[in-house]
Structure 1
Amino acid sequence: MRILITGGFGFLGRRVAGALLERGTFRGAPIDRLLLADRVTDPGSPLTAHRLVETVEGDLTERLPELLAEPVDAVIHLAAAVSAECEADFDLGMRGNVETTRALLEALRAQTARAGGGSPLPLLLFSSSVAVYGSDPALPLPAVVDESTLPTPRSSYGAEKLVCEQLVAEYTRRGFLDGRVARLMTVAVRPGKPNAAASGFLSGIIREPLAGLPAVCPVDTGLRVALASPPRTVAGILRVAEAERGPEPGRLAGGLPVNLPALTVSVAEMLATLRRVAGDAVADLVTVAPDPAVEAIVGSWPADFDHRRAAALGLTPDPDFESVVRGHLAATGSAITPR
């Protein structure tokens, strides 16, 4: 089993790679090679030193001939330009999301053609986003969203992800590959440095205060959001990738994307949890200063989901936000002594 992870040294890429190496199998078959492709790799990472890992650095589109010089059995496509940078730079978003994904799909299509078609087709897991949804004035979102809700994105990032979803569906329909789409909720709490995602503050207002640093909350604290912890997100990505197809329970029915399970909380509830777990001095490091640009993007995303499709695959949301915060503290070895 030869597996390619794009964005392999990103936040989720490292964790998906680590999970695969820990188990040593994918869809019941031993992993022989794990290719980690990213614009910038990390020679000091334990992943790089693993005997099954091969790293490829550079622009994904340019490196595809090298990456697919030998057939791959599966691709977990996590590489992407993120929301705020896509809104700021339209061309960057189209190139980093749509054009790169199309190039990857074409490369897998060529692999299938070289093999004479038929099964097994190369598997592609595309990581999409809750940002494909938005409330159009002519078609407001329902109170509860599921996979049958019409996506009407209100950001360039969401539009690009939706375009890619449709490309994956079409290449799958035509028999070029076996494509699946997992729509990710906002992942929090992300450790490490802030990124350019509009939703990055949802990690920052917890992560930075727990590290003794100030943080700014750029939205009204009454805003309700759909979150998933890093472990639940990684589990969802791999479950959708590995699921057998079919109408039976536990299988991937139909060709629709899967909305990964979400914990729905308000920003006020997040901050109250931080105060309860870490104390007043930590929570007081957060300042509320609304930013209309951030509110326009994040506020357009739905917060309440019907997750029956994910539940049929055995996926469940985080039980509460306190468990997410405590999980972050445990994973990062924080010096904060939780209450």
Structure 2
Amino acid sequence: MKLVVTGGAGFLGARLISTLLSDQPPAGFPQFSSIVSVDLAACPVDDTRVQSVIGNIADAAFVNSVITPDVTAIYHLAAVVSGQAEAEFDVGMAVNLDGTRTLLEAARKLPNAPHFVFASSLAVFGGKLPDVVPEDIAVLPQSSYGAQKAMGELMVNDFSRKGFIDGRVCRLPTIVVRPGKPNAAASSFASGIIREPLAGIDSVCPVPTGTRLWLSSPATVIRNLIHAGAVDGDKLEGRRTLNLPGICVTVAEMLASLERIGGAETRAHVTLAEDERIKKIVLSWPGDFDVSRPLSLGFTRDQDFDSVVQSYRQDQLR
């Protein structure tokens, strides 16, 4: 039996694959003996149980060659990120919308409805929102990326309603701190203002310090994605979309944590220079959510932002 991870060469996909292979998956998780990574590059996880397949998920012939009858679960993490999707509309639509439908159509042909975990985004929200966003509020995306993710959510829910898949939509918090280099995501600065200063490198914050962000550490997001694959679909009661738990933190609070842990000289590496393009996208996102239902279903959250920074620092020192 196989498990497929799109975006398997990326930061999140590679961590998911590595964790699934090293830890015993929870009860209810689909059985698998190998994992297929689908991406534009090879998966960095070195394990004989991992097969890297390189190709574009918008290519139906390619996707159909990967989604074979022995696939029991699909994690769909591949996406053109927010900044690029806004700048390159056609590319974003081809991958984020057309690619998602192509993958769903291939899953629909399987003899048994697979678990299908779709990584969505807070970018589906926009407009006037309450301070704490309830789970059932209507989405009103203010970016092409958010619109593409919202359309993907609707497809996953409808394919689940029809019994073609056993879908779960996970709206991910902004993941902090991501190691490596910045990417084209509008939220990339959220990791950069922690990661770079801890390495002694200058970083620029493009949004006001009062900006609220909904954040989660990489380890907690991976744990929640795996739990999403294991949770009983009947317990979702037809509500397949979940706002994964995070913590609400302002940029000012993030910088205060950085100073407590790294010292004033580390905090001094961050300068403030607002970027109107980034602000327009990021300020449309909500900063706090009612996540009582996901928590009742067994999903978890980080304790506080100090622990997130400490965890990253310890990982980098290993």
The SS at the match of 1:35 is strand
Which residue, out of 97, 120, 135, partners 1:128?
120
1:272 maps to which of 246, 253, 256: 256
Query: Which residue is equivalent to 1:56?
Result: 53
Matched pairs, number: 315
Equivalent position of 1:245 in the other structure = 233
Question: Residues 44-79 of structure 1, C-alpha deviation per residue, up to 9 Å, x if partnerless?
Answer: x3x2x3121111012123321321244310000000
Mapped pair 1:212 → 2:200: yes
For 1:8, give the aligned amino acid: G
Q: Is the 8 A contact 1:60 1:100 kept in 2?
A: yes
Q: Could you list the runs of 5+ residues in structure 2 that have no partner in the other structure?
A: none
State the TM-score, normalized to the length of structure 1. Answer: 0.89
Other-structure match for 1:337:
none
Alignment partners' CA distance in 1, 2:133 and 2:266: 35
CA–CA distance in 2 between the matches of 1:36 and 1:310?
A: 27
Q: What's the offset of the Cα at 1:146?
A: 2.1
Where 1:21 maps in the other structure, the secondary structure is helix
2:19 maps to 1:22: no
8 Å CA contact 1:240–1:258 kept in 2: the answer is no
Aligned-residue offset at 1:151: 0.6
| Partner residue, 1:71 | 70
Whole-Å separation in 2 of the counterparts to 1:264 and 1:29 = 32
Matched, 1:261 2:257: no
SS in 1 for 2:239: coil
Q: CA deviation at 1:25?
A: 4.2
Matching residue's letter, 2:13? G
Q: Distance in 1 between matches of 2:124 and 2:156?
A: 15
Residue 149 of structure 1 aligns with an amino acid whose one-letter code is I
Q: How far does residue 110 in structure 1 lie from its aligned partner after superposition?
A: 2.0
Counterpart code for 1:51? T
**% identity of equivalent residues:** 43
Is 1:310 aligned to 2:298, yes or no?
Answer: no
Letter in 2 for 1:296: K
Q: Which residue of 2 aligns with 1:297?
A: 281
2:29/2:231 contact within 8 Å kept: no
The reply to whether residue 31 of structure 1 matches residue 32 of structure 2 is: yes
Q: Does 1:157 align with 2:145?
A: yes
* Secondary structure of the corresponding residue to residue 198 of structure 1: coil
Structure 1 unaligned runs (5+)? 335-339
Cα deviation for residue 24 of structure 1 reads 4.7
Q: In the alignment, is the contact (CA less than 8 A) between 1:168 and 1:179 conserved in 2?
A: yes
TM-score (norm 2): 0.95
One-letter code aligned to 1:328: Y
8 Å CA contact 2:32–2:72 kept in 1: the answer is: no
